[in-house]
Every structure is written in C-alpha cells, then in structure tokens.
Amino acid sequence: MAKARAKTTPADAVPSDRKGRLDDALRKRILSMELAPGAVVDELTLAEEFGLSRPPVRELMRQLAAEGYLELEPNRPARVSAMSHHSLRSFFLAAPMLYVATAQLAAGNATAAEIERMKQIQRRFRQAIDDGNTLERVRQNDRFHYEIGLAAHNEYLMPSLRRLLLDHARLGMTFYRDPPSADMAESLSVAVEQHDQIIEAIERHDTDGVAELMRAHMDLSRRRMAEYAAPEGLDVPL
C-alpha cells in the first residue's frame, strides 16, 4: 500500500482528501519529532481534528504501524515507535548494509521514470538546504532514499528500509540545527554532491560504484549521528 502511494503521489503534493491529509500530517509530526518517540497517538482526537470517523483513522494507524511509525498493542493506545539504546545500536549496525543493498539493486532495476523522480527530489533537497529549512531537508532526504528503495524493486527490503529511514530522519531532526555551523554546512554540501553521484551511478547501472558511494554517504551521516547517539566504545561498521 505504501509503495503504491509513493509511486502515484508527487513528493511535494498535499493530499486533497481528509484521510490523505491525516496521513501526511502524522508522518510529518513523527518525522519532525513533534510527536516524540513513545508518545500516545489518540485516534479519537485525530478523527475530530481531521473530520473523520474512527474506522479510517484506525485503518491508517494500522498501515503506519506496519511501516514502523507506530506501535500497536491490544487494549493499549497507539504510540509513536520508540527510540531506545537497542534500536539505535541496531540502526548503526543495519543501515550501511541495507542502504548499499537497495542502491545496488536500484542500479540494476531503476526505470527512467524512477531516476527522474530521484532528480526531482534531489532538487528539493538542495533547495531546502539553501533555504535553511531543517524539516524539509530531512523529509527530502528521507524521500530520496525511499525512492531508491522503490527502484530496487524488492518487496522484502522495503519494510526494513522504511523503519530504518524513520529513525534516520528522527536522528536528523535531533542533531541538525539551523543555521548550521561551518563544519555542518560543509557536510551538507558534500551530501548534496554524493546524492548527485549516487543518481548518476544508478543511471549508468554501476552497481559497484554506487555501493562505494553509498558507503561513503552513510559514513558522512554516521559520523554526525555517532557524535550524538552512539555509545562510547561502540564499533559501528561501515
């Protein structure tokens, strides 16, 4: 369901239907940390806010739970997915492997239309950096890597990628601040160049080259995230 939505809805479009607006708003609130990890998400409050009955809200919440945004337990209110020491350690261990795998598959399988979507998202990512818009920068980075995942055309990877991207975005909202320091601005400039190079490697079907680029790209963001979140002494592999 999420795959079809991402392919048919432009990345910067605002849904016109009430359920679509709720979907967009919930994702944004979770990615931006407006709804903190572990926060209760009340379906009745959301139903009233967006003018919906409870069944479509409940259906959307089940979808977001399947994608890793929410945690649902019997007889308990829905909560935003937690960020614990364990989940962060798992993130650092899994991210390089998963990003490289999806990029290599995308280099072998991406269509011209998918590559064009990557370029469009990349333009919005660059614009968000120029505008000093942290939330939009994090959202467009999330969409860039998600589009690569879709271009991999492997349904087994997508649930893990979606969950990985959620915590990547939330970590980004935690340690990125505007205006960025000179060092951070330099890192963002490098990240933009790496995105361009990744797209070019996918476009020329260079599976080995895109793997090296993705490792370097992950290392760039990992150093920032590790400064904030990785436990001292944890050996985080590339």
Domains and CATH numbers, the chain: 2-80 (1.10.10.10), 85-228 (1.20.120.530)
Query: Rounded CA gap, 220 and 68, in Å?
Result: 25
The structure's pTM equals 0.79
With a CB cutoff of 8 Å and minimum separation 6, the contacts of 235 are none
Pairing mode, strands 40-41 and 70-71 = unpaired
Distance of CA 234 to the CA centre of its chain: 24
**Residues 3-31: pLDDT tens digits?**
444 444 444 444 558 899 999 999 999 98
The tokens 């969950």 sit on which residue? 163
Predicted confidence (pLDDT) at residue 2 exceeds the cutoff of 70: no
**Residues 194-219: pLDDT tens digits?**
999 999 999 999 999 999 999 999 88
pLDDT at 6: 42
The residues with which 70 forms a beta bridge, in sequence order, are: 80
Query: Rounded CA gap, 201 and 180, in Å?
Result: 29
pLDDT at 85: 77
pLDDT at 227: 57
In sequence order, what DSSP letters do the residues of 23-58 get, joined into one string? Answer: HHHHHHHHHTTSS-TT-EE-HHHHHHHHT--HHHHH
Query: Rounded CA gap, 190 and 167, in Å?
Result: 22
At 98, which amino acid appears?
A: L
